[in-house]
Chain A
Amino acid sequence: MRLLARQPLGVAGAVVVLGLVATALLAPVLAPHGPKEAVFGQFVPPGREFPMGTDNLGRDVLSRVMWGARLSLYVGLVSVLIGVTIGSLWGIFTGYLGGVADVSSQRVIDCVMALPPIILALSLMAAVGSSVNNVILALTILLTPTAARTVRSVALAIAASPYIEAARAAGTSHVRIVLRHILPNCLATYIVLVTTNISYAIVVEASLSFLGVGAPPDEPSWGGMLTAGTQAMETAPWLIFFPGVAISLAVFALNLLGDAIRDIADPRLRGGLG
């Protein structure tokens, strides 16, 4: 209750995210039909039989939106966990080591971050071909440098702390210092990066699928469903409405949750705005 009083929006976000996760996990049970089952009438408007209508190929939109949650969360979670983990370790080690390793790794990060993210992702997808795993690969490449740079700045501050100097003076090995002292202190930043980047990953996945280079077209991706819907925007508006709402809801809820976790994890913001 205290948490609800302090972070009401965060709790609301968490409830929606839990709902999404439950939908994603239980999609095979909850969805009334298979997401690729194209056996119904085309463009059936939302009604009792098909609460979100059917699409241009005669597939149940509700089932595809439910399975879409599975795909979006899978892509979002896996790519963010891999990307942010690799980036954080990179940032911690180069930040702690400093010198040539740090300078050269920062220039590599500069190069990657100089490219507009969506263009970089599009180029990667064009090079490796469209598949769910390749979307994860592209997102990982996008997320790693950002995470590395953010965590490095935290690691730099920790590395300059007196207790690290004391540990060095006591002859503790670099690996032990990193694992025992720096890494645990970067955990809060890591958690915040994970929660705030999932929504970003979902939007990029949806954008790639919308542009036709994300998940293969028959995979129930919210972005892919939006693209298909644009062909009959006026005659069957439900084809863009429901996946659009799903993307907005997921991103909004994940952002609220991410903000709340950041507020809780950051001591300077503790007790601040809810």
Chain B
Amino acid sequence: MKIRHPRCARSTQNWIIAAAAIASLVAVSATSDAQQDKPRYGGVLNWFDYGDPARLDVHAESPLVVQQATAGVYSSLLHKDPDAPTKIAPDLAEHYTVSADGKTYTFHLRKGVKWHDGQPFTATDVKATFDRVLNPDFKSPKCGATLKPLVAGTEVVDPHTFQVRLKAPAPDPFLSAVSSAWCRIAAKHVLDKFGDLNKPEAQIGTGPFKFKRYERGSVIEWEKNKDYFIQGLPYLDGVKQFILVGGPTQLAAAKAGRIMLWDTWPPMGKAQSEELKSARGNEIDVYRWPINTIWIVFLNTKKPPFDNPDMRRAVHLALNRQELITKALDGAGVPCAMLDPKLVGEAALPLAELERTPGCRTGAGKEQDIAEAEKLVKKHYPNGLDIEMAFRQVGNYSDRSQLVAAQLRKIGIRGTLKTHESAAGYAAFGKGDFTLIAAQDRAMDGTDPSDPFSLIWTTQGGSNWGKWSDPKFDEVADRGLKETDKAKRAKLYQDAQRMFLSGAPSAIPVGWVEGWFFADKKVRGYKPSPSAYDNITFMKVWLAP
């Protein structure tokens, strides 16, 4: 029998003890990690709205704050998958079928779904919603604007089956519209009772959260819907959205840990994100993200001086998009693009071509553009002219507007900046009560190339605030909407962009907006979406301890 040296035996024993200790530590840590990744129930998520929504009707309004205020309260037939927001997933419709000619979509609805007031959800509610947004007399700048050009009619097949007939097969634009966060399904009995969805009392949906409270200028609160149709969801007890107006206030709230998520417009600038990182350190993740939003300078074609195509062309030529994106967005954006290649692929004009296009050029080409613009202004206003340049007092629109004003001063357009409170600005712009809007972002509902055309640039566009109309352009955009061959469709949209940029547009693209955002590391189950409107129902979000 081999006798071990006592020291040796002790040494081996120590190794065994050490190894066991490490193994148990690893096991404990692994268990703890598993627990960390296992969704937990409870807690309230705090984030913010950049302004007061005032009106809450998701079908009749277009500001992001309206979407944020109501997102978790409602459901749609289809929605962007919370686990993979680029994909479309079933929501109130369990599944859908498409007819052989591609023109009829049949949605098979979930059974046993209840509205927040306990009433049963049926296909009649879906029909009432579609009838509302498709009504030609009802101004629906988002859902209606994208569906009206596509839909020929709707029908209730049975209480749990709903059918939509399209004017022509248009799978991508139609599914993009139906899954849009703006095409939420509202209850027929609520619409009958209130007439619209503006009031907090009318916020009765089927979503994961119930609308609890709206204190103007202060906070919007949701509480958990315990009867949500997906069992086990949501995890959170509620969501609180503080109404924080102005970048410094928003940043101060983020630095103090008062808000846990900043994945909404307006994005932070680079300097702000660095300030936040140094204040919160490892507690947060900071990321740069495109938010499917385009910065537009709107010119009113119904009022002088921009009823004159030469003056509109002059503004288009004079704006130095590269400088605007560099200075106002810290370079985070795609200057001059009408469509962002990152989001819509080949339907966007190649950036190399864009850089050669008058108005979008840099260097010597830009100097030529500015000289040409100056000539156009002098032709009609030899001493230059004074105009009012409006913007809403939110985000960094003030900075952006000052830059636009500085650039247009070079060609003799002297702007006086006029500020609007957020909701009042939207109301004024919608009524055409402006000459020039120096800074206004328009966010897209999805990533289909038809979106910005349907929303901004066509005659019937929900945000065609400048009332610009070109039947030839509309015709090309309409063909793009209905074309099913992807390559032909991309070419049609490229043609539309060339036509637009060589003319005298009224909604002048400055560029696609990107920016910096953050999420508290405690916030789990949240995936940023390509659109600022999607995936903010927080149905799968939970808070780690």
Instruction: State the Cβ distance, B221 to closest chain A Cβ, in Å.
Output: 27
Residues of B within 8 A of A213 (CB): 419
Considering the complex, which residues of chain A in the window 23-52 have a beta carbon less than 8 Å from any beta carbon of chain B? 36-39, 42-43
B380 within 8 A of partner (CB): no
B399 within 8 A of partner (CB): yes
Chain B, residue nearest A37 (CB): B406
Q: Could you tell me if B327 and A217 are in contact, using CB atoms closer than 8 angstroms?
A: no
B401 within 8 A of partner (CB): yes
Q: Could you tell me if B248 and A57 are in contact, using CB atoms closer than 8 angstroms?
A: no
Chain A, residue nearest B326 (CB): A42
Instruction: State the Cβ distance, A94 to closest chain B Cβ, in Å.
Output: 38
Would A231 and B406 be within 8 Å (CB), given that A216-B416, A217-B401 are in contact?
A: no
B417 within 8 A of partner (CB): yes
B residues contacting the other copy or chain, number (CB 8 A): 25
Q: Could you tell me if B419 and A130 are in contact, using CB atoms closer than 8 angstroms?
A: yes
B405 within 8 A of partner (CB): yes
Q: Could you tell me if B406 and A38 are in contact, using CB atoms closer than 8 angstroms?
A: yes
Residues of A within 8 A of B271 (CB): 43, 231-232, 235-236
Would A217 and B403 be within 8 Å (CB), given that A212-B393, A231-B272, A234-B275 are in contact?
A: no
Considering the complex, which residues of chain B in the window 264-309 have a beta carbon less than 8 Å from any beta carbon of chain A? 269, 271-272, 274-275, 278
Q: Could you tell me if A56 and B399 are in contact, using CB atoms closer than 8 angstroms?
A: yes
A117 within 8 A of partner (CB): no
Considering the complex, which residues of chain B in the window 373-399 have a beta carbon less than 8 Å from any beta carbon of chain A? 393, 398-399
Taking a contact as CB atoms closer than 8 A, the residue among A38, A39, A131, A234 that contacts B402 in the complex is A38
Q: Could you tell me if B275 and A235 are in contact, using CB atoms closer than 8 angstroms?
A: yes
Q: Could you tell me if A36 and B402 are in contact, using CB atoms closer than 8 angstroms?
A: yes
Taking a contact as CB atoms closer than 8 A, the residue among A216, A234, A235 that contacts B417 in the complex is A216
A residues contacting the other copy or chain, number (CB 8 A): 25
B525 within 8 A of partner (CB): no
Chain B, residue nearest A42 (CB): B327
Would A218 and B419 be within 8 Å (CB), given that A231-B247, A232-B271, A235-B275 are in contact?
A: no
Chain A, residue nearest B272 (CB): A231
Whole-angstrom distance between the alpha carbons of A77 and B269 in the complex? 38
Residues of A within 8 A of B327 (CB): 38, 42, 56-58
Chain B, residue nearest A212 (CB): B393
Residues of B within 8 A of A38 (CB): 327, 402-403, 406
Instruction: State the Cβ distance, A136 to closest chain B Cβ, in Å.
Output: 16
B418 within 8 A of partner (CB): yes
Whole-angstrom distance between the alpha carbons of A226 and B269 in the complex? 18
B409 within 8 A of partner (CB): yes
A249 within 8 A of partner (CB): no
Instruction: State the Cβ distance, B253 to closest chain A Cβ, in Å.
Output: 14
Residues of A within 8 A of B272 (CB): 231-232
Residues of B within 8 A of A231 (CB): 247-248, 251, 269, 271-272
Q: Could you tell me if A212 and B399 are in contact, using CB atoms closer than 8 angstroms?
A: no
Whole-angstrom distance between the alpha carbons of A36 and B408 in the complex? 12
Q: Could you tell me if B417 and A218 are in contact, using CB atoms closer than 8 angstroms?
A: yes
Counted as pairs of residues, one from A and one from B, with CB atoms less than 8 Å apart, the total is 64
Taking a contact as CB atoms closer than 8 A, the residue among B247, B328, B416 that contacts A131 in the complex is B416
Whole-angstrom distance between the alpha carbons of A129 and B391 in the complex? 13
Residues of A within 8 A of B402 (CB): 36, 38, 57, 217-218
Write out, one digit per residue, whether chain B residues 402-442 have a CB within 8 A of any chain A CB (1) or not (0). 11011001000000111100000000000000000000000
Write out, one digit per residue, whether chain B residues 322-362 have a CB within 8 A of any chain A CB (1) or not (0). 00000110000000000000000000000000000000000
Whole-angstrom distance between the alpha carbons of A185 and B32 in the complex? 85
Residues of A within 8 A of B399 (CB): 56-57, 217, 228
Q: Could you tell me if B398 and A217 are in contact, using CB atoms closer than 8 angstroms?
A: yes
Whole-angstrom distance between the alpha carbons of A235 and B277 in the complex? 13
Write out, one digit per residue, whether chain A residues 213-244 have a CB within 8 A of any chain B CB (1) or not (0). 10011100000000110111011100000000
Q: Could you tell me if A230 and B418 are in contact, using CB atoms closer than 8 angstroms?
A: no
Would A36 and B418 be within 8 Å (CB), given that A57-B402, A217-B401, A234-B275 are in contact?
A: no
Instruction: State the Cβ distance, B506 to closest chain A Cβ, in Å.
Output: 23
Whole-angstrom distance between the alpha carbons of A39 and B248 in the complex? 25
Residues of B within 8 A of A230 (CB): 248
Q: Could you tell me if B406 and A129 are in contact, using CB atoms closer than 8 angstroms?
A: no
Instruction: State the Cβ distance, B487 to closest chain A Cβ, in Å.
Output: 42
Residues of B within 8 A of A212 (CB): 246, 393, 398, 419
Residues of B within 8 A of A39 (CB): 406
Instruction: State the Cβ distance, B49 to closest chain A Cβ, in Å.
Output: 18
Q: Could you tell me if B417 and A217 are in contact, using CB atoms closer than 8 angstroms?
A: yes
Instruction: State the Cβ distance, B371 to closest chain A Cβ, in Å.
Output: 17
Residues of A within 8 A of B393 (CB): 212
Instruction: State the Cβ distance, A144 to closest chain B Cβ, in Å.
Output: 26
Residues of B within 8 A of A36 (CB): 402, 405-406, 409
Q: Could you tell me if A129 and B418 are in contact, using CB atoms closer than 8 angstroms?
A: yes
Write out, one digit per residue, whether chain B residues 233-248 have a CB within 8 A of any chain A CB (1) or not (0). 0000000000000111
Residues of B within 8 A of A232 (CB): 271-272, 275
Chain B, residue nearest A38 (CB): B406
Chain A, residue nearest B251 (CB): A231
The contact sample of 27 A-B pairs, CB cut-off 8 A, is: A36-B406, A38-B403, A38-B406, A39-B406, A42-B327, A57-B328, A57-B406, A129-B418, A129-B419, A212-B246, A212-B398, A213-B419, A216-B416, A216-B418, A217-B399, A217-B417, A217-B419, A218-B406, A228-B399, A231-B247, A231-B271, A231-B272, A232-B271, A234-B275, A234-B278, A235-B271, A235-B275
5 A-B pairs closest in CB distance: A216-B417, A218-B402, A38-B406, A217-B398, A230-B248
- Besides A57-B399, A213-B419, 4 other A-B contacts (C-beta < 8 A): A36-B402, A36-B406, A38-B403, A231-B272
